[in-house]
Amino acid sequence: MDLSGKDFLIVGRAGMDFYPDPPGTRTEDATQFVSCLGGSSANIGVALVKQGCKAALVTRVSDDAIGRFAVNQLDHYGIDRTQVTPVGGEARNSLAVVETRIEDHQSVIYRNGAADFEMTVADVQAATYAGRSALITTGTVFAADPSRTAAFRAFDLARDAGLPLIFDIDYRPYSWPSAQVAADVLSRAGDMCDLIIGNDVEFGFMAGDYDKGLEKARQLAADGKLIVYKMGELGAITFHNGQEIRTGIYRTQALKPTGAGDSFMGGFIAALANGHDIRTAVLRGSASAAMVVARVGCAPAMPTTDELEAFLADHPGPTE
């Protein structure tokens, strides 16, 4: 998979995150909040840009102050938002109220009438595919129509342009009408992709049995896909060209449990794009994830290349 062009098209959402301030504050006790860019696809874009890549986002945002906040934040981080389209009516941007605390952590997600689910086939057809390194998306984009149909159309357009398809399963039950619909749609999406990243629970969900996640990952790898099977504190198994590459995690003093997946994806893909081998890329993704959970926020917490290099130089290494 040649990602050396370092120019990625991402299909998915951008939203707003609220963090009770100061860190450690419970939401119900908060008197002030810090705001930042949110949404898994936007966060992945930030991670890529901070590590030397280009990223363009295709999505819809609400035609109001919150949507404009998201657009302004995309500009701030240098993400191409040419195909980020405002939508009026009752659609609203997603909002996450997320605590910077580990013990009894609370995250409250507002996704009713989500603006990003209003993305249309016309939106993805207006995007530029030629010359990109890959198309990246996450499972949430498939949870409702017209976004689902549009995302599958984007897959077809990317395929026609010769782009690899990169997919983070990112299963979030609250976004789906039923578990069965989710399993069917996510499996269909996974079958089309070249690189799939997910945790043991998500692969088990796709398999229809949580005990068969590893079997599902191996099956997908046997079809020629690059698979990263994440297992939390137990590290990851990466399936590539018949190999099973096992890697551990970097230990840090975590402030929160959120943001690790987006940071891993961005760090891993950026590493591949910058010429690192598969094992090194997984470790750089793991280090990026460890850095983000030790910082406030998601988008602002994504490490730059220099920050990542400094972390790797000073850290004793992953636990195996």
Question: Average model confidence (pLDDT) for the chain?
Answer: 94
28 part of a folded domain: no
Span 249-265, average pLDDT: 92
32 part of a folded domain: no
132 part of a folded domain: yes
Q: Would you say the C-alpha torsion 129, 134, 139, 140 has a positive or negative sign? A: negative
Percent of the chain with pLDDT over 90: 87
23 part of a folded domain: no
Q: Counting Cβ atoms within 10 Å, is residue 223 exposed (0-12), middle (13-18) or buried (19+)?
A: exposed
Q: What is the model's pLDDT at position 244?
A: 94
Segment 141-174, tens digit of pLDDT: 999 999 999 999 999 999 999 999 999 999 988 8
Q: What is the model's pLDDT at position 315?
A: 87
∠ CA 139-289-124, nearest 5°, is 30
Segment 96-136, tens digit of pLDDT: 999 999 999 999 999 989 999 999 999 999 999 999 999 99
- Look at strands 243-247 and 236-240 and give their pairing: antiparallel
**CA–CA separation, 297 and 100 (whole Å):** 8
Structure tokens that stand for 215 in this block: 């079997």
CATH number at residue 56: 3.40.1190.20
Closest CA to 80 of 54, 56, 50: 56
Span 10-33, average pLDDT: 96
Q: What is the model's pLDDT at position 10?
A: 98
Angle separating helix axes 305-314 and 278-293, nearest 10 degrees: 90
Percent of the chain with pLDDT over 70: 99
Span 277-282, average pLDDT: 95
Stated pTM of the model: 0.96
Q: 108 with 101: CB under 8 angstroms? A: no
**Stretch among 8-12, 72-76, 204-208 having the lowest mean pLDDT:** 204-208
Residue 298 belongs to domain spanning = 7-12+39-61+117-314
What are the backbone angles phi and psi of residue 78, rounded to the nearest 5°?
A: 80, 30
Q: Would you say the C-alpha torsion 305, 311, 317, 320 has a positive or negative sign? A: negative
**Residue whose tokens read 């249309």:** 120
Q: In sequence order, what are the residues at sequence separation of 6 or more whose Cβ sits closer than 8 angstroms to the Cβ of residue 194?
A: 1, 164, 165, 166, 225, 226
Higher pLDDT, 33 or 251: 33
The identity of residue 297, as a single letter, is G
∠ CA 54-143-302, nearest 5°, is 35
Q: 13 with 39: CB under 8 angstroms? A: yes
21 part of a folded domain: no
**Stretch among 12-16, 81-85, 205-209 having the lowest mean pLDDT:** 205-209
- pLDDT band for position 210 (50/70/90)? confident
- pLDDT band for position 13 (50/70/90)? very high
Q: What is the model's pLDDT at position 296?
A: 92
Q: What is the model's pLDDT at position 320?
A: 57
pLDDT at 293 over 80: yes
End-to-end CA distance of the chain: give it in Å, rounded.
27
Segment 298-314, tens digit of pLDDT: 999 999 999 999 999 99
319 part of a folded domain: no
Q: What is the model's pLDDT at position 208?
A: 82
pLDDT at 94 over 90: yes
Question: CB-hemisphere CA count at 13 Å for 278?
Answer: 17
Closest CA to 297 of 100, 106, 49: 100
78 part of a folded domain: no
The identity of residue 272, as a single letter, is L
Structure tokens that stand for 304 in this block: 């730059």
Q: 106 with 133: CB under 8 angstroms? A: no
∠ CA 27-33-35, nearest 5°, is 120
Q: What is the model's pLDDT at position 224?
A: 93
Total domain count for the chain? 1
138 part of a folded domain: yes
Q: What is the model's pLDDT at position 4?
A: 87
- pLDDT band for position 24 (50/70/90)? very high
**CA–CA separation, 238 and 170 (whole Å):** 17
pLDDT at 207 over 90: no
Q: What is the model's pLDDT at position 105?
A: 95
Span 62-67, average pLDDT: 96
